[in-house]
Amino acid sequence: MNAPSRFSNDRNVIAFRPGLPGRKPIRVALFSGNYNCVRDGANRALNRLVGHLLYKAGMDVRIYSPTAPRPAFQSVGEVRSVPSLAIPGRPEYRVAIGLTSGVRRDLDDFAPDIVHLSCPDRLGRQAQKYARAHNIPVVASLHTRFETYLDYYRLSFLRGTIERYLDRFYGDADLILAPTAPIRDEMAVVHGADRLAVWGRGIDPRDFAPTLRDPAFRAAHGYEEGDIVPLFFGRLVLEKGLGVFTDAIAAIRAQGHHVRPLIVGEGPARSWLAQRLPNATFTGHMSGADLGRAVASADLLINPSVTEAFGNVNLEAMASGLAVLSADVPSATALIDHGHTGLLLQPTDSHAYAEAAIGLMNDRRRLTALRQAAADAAARHRWEDVLDSVAQAYARLLPHKGSPAALPACAPRAGTG
C-alpha cells in the first residue's frame, strides 16, 4: 500500500465520516483504466480522491486497475493489478482484458458497498454487471471525452457507435459524477437530472500560485524580463490540440512577434512538436515545486484541447496567474468567464488564438487584469470541498450505512441488467 505522507500524516480532524459507532466503514471498489500507469489529470484526481476517502472520510478503498512494470508515480491506496495488454505504439497505456475469475474472487472477498467506475472500458462494463448481479450501487465518473479522440486518429466513422456505447455505460449507473455543471446538464438530458452530480477539481495553493513565478527560472531558459512567454502545458499527444498550437505560434511570429513558447510536459508527440517548433523551450516532465514554478513563470496559456472533461491545465494555469486562451468547450466554460478570467476561442481556429495572444501582448494592462482575475477565480476551487462532495454522494446511496441525517437519501435506480 503506497500512501504519500501528505495524506497519511495529516492530523486534521476528520471532517466527514459517514460511518456511525459500531458500523463498518463504507467499502469502495474503484475501477480505473490506468491508475498509476500515466501521470495525467484524471489519475491525479483519482489518487487525491482515494487519499481523501481513506484518511479523511474513514472509508475502505480497493483499486482495480492495470499496472505497469514501472509505475509513472507513487500511487495512493491498495491497488489490485488486473491482467492487461499494452497499447501498440503507446505502451504507457494499458487495456484490461476484463473481469477475470481472480478479480471476481478478490471482489467477493472485499465485499464492496459501492462500485466506482472511472473508465468505460471492458473492465468497467463487466464490473458494472457484477455490481448489478450483487445489488451493489454503481457510481460512474466522467474523466475524458473519449468520443473526441477519434478525430485525431482518423476514426471519426466510429463516433456514433462509441457515443451509443457511452450512453449505455453511463445510463446503467445509479449515480453519474460529471466534472462540470455544463457537462452535468448535457448528460441530464439523456440520463435524468436526479442521477447526476458534479465532481469538480481543486487547487492546492502550495503547488500552483502566482507567487511561484521565478525570474531566475526565466533567465535560466533565456527569457528576458519583458518577454511574453506562451505556454503549452500537459501531455504531448496530438489529441491535446498540438497542431492548432503550433499553427497559432506560427501565426504570431508571422506578424513580427518573436515569441519562444515554453513546453512543459512529456509524451510520444514530443519529436513531432520539436520539429515544428525548433526554438521552443522543452522542460520535459515536471512535478511538485518545479512544475508550479515553471507554469507561474510563463505569461499566457494557449490550450486548444477539446478532449478534457474538466480542464485541469486551465485551472492550474489560472491559479498560477496566467491569462488562459482556451478552446470554447464545456470543460472550459465551467471555469472561464470570457473576457474577465480568460478568453474562450473557436477550438480549431489557430488564427483566433494568435490574434487573442497578440492583443494581450500589445495591451499589457489588460493582460495583467486577466491574470489577476484568473488567479482570484481559481482560488475558489478547494480540494477539501470537492472531495467531500464525492464522499457525501457515496453516503447518499447507502443510507443504511449511517450517512449524516442532514444529507437526504438518494435511492439507487432499479437495475437495468
Pull the grid cell for residue 375.
488567479
User: What are the CA-CA distances from residue 46 to residues 32, 147, 217, 237, 331 (Å)?
Assistant: 9, 21, 31, 21, 18
Are the C-beta atoms of residues 343 and 304 closer than 8 Å to each other?
Answer: no
- φ, ψ for residue 369 (rounded to 5)? -65, -45
- φ, ψ for residue 22 (rounded to 5)? 85, -10
Pull the grid cell for residue 327.
478552446
Positions of the chain with pLDDT under 70? 1-23, 145-155, 400-417
Looking up cell 454503481 gives 138
Q: What is the DSSP letter of 369?
A: H
Could you give the 3-state DSSP secondary structure of residue 231? strand
241-284: per-residue pLDDT in tens? 999 999 999 999 999 999 999 999 998 999 999 999 989 999 99
Are the C-beta atoms of residues 378 and 279 closer than 8 Å to each other?
Answer: no
Pick from 397, 336, 406, 400: nearest CA to 371? 336
Q: Please state, in angstroms and rounded to a whole number, the distance separating the CA atoms of residues 354 and 190.
A: 37
125-182: per-residue pLDDT in tens? 999 999 999 999 999 999 876 556 556 556 677 777 888 999 999 999 999 999 888 8
Q: How high is the pLDDT of residue 20?
A: 43
Q: Please state, in angstroms and rounded to a whole number, the distance separating the CA atoms of residues 338 and 102.
A: 51
Q: Please state, in angstroms and rounded to a whole number, the distance separating the CA atoms of residues 298 and 66.
A: 36
Cα 177 from chain centroid? Answer: 13
Are the C-beta atoms of residues 290 and 19 closer than 8 Å to each other?
Answer: no
Pick from 152, 354, 355, 356: nearest CA to 245? 354
Are the C-beta atoms of residues 239 and 40 closer than 8 Å to each other?
Answer: no
Q: Please state, in angstroms and rounded to a whole number, the distance separating the CA atoms of residues 173 and 175.
A: 5
pTM here is 0.74
Structural Rg of the chain based on CA atoms? 22
Q: How high is the pLDDT of residue 8?
A: 32
Q: What is the DSSP letter of 13?
A: P
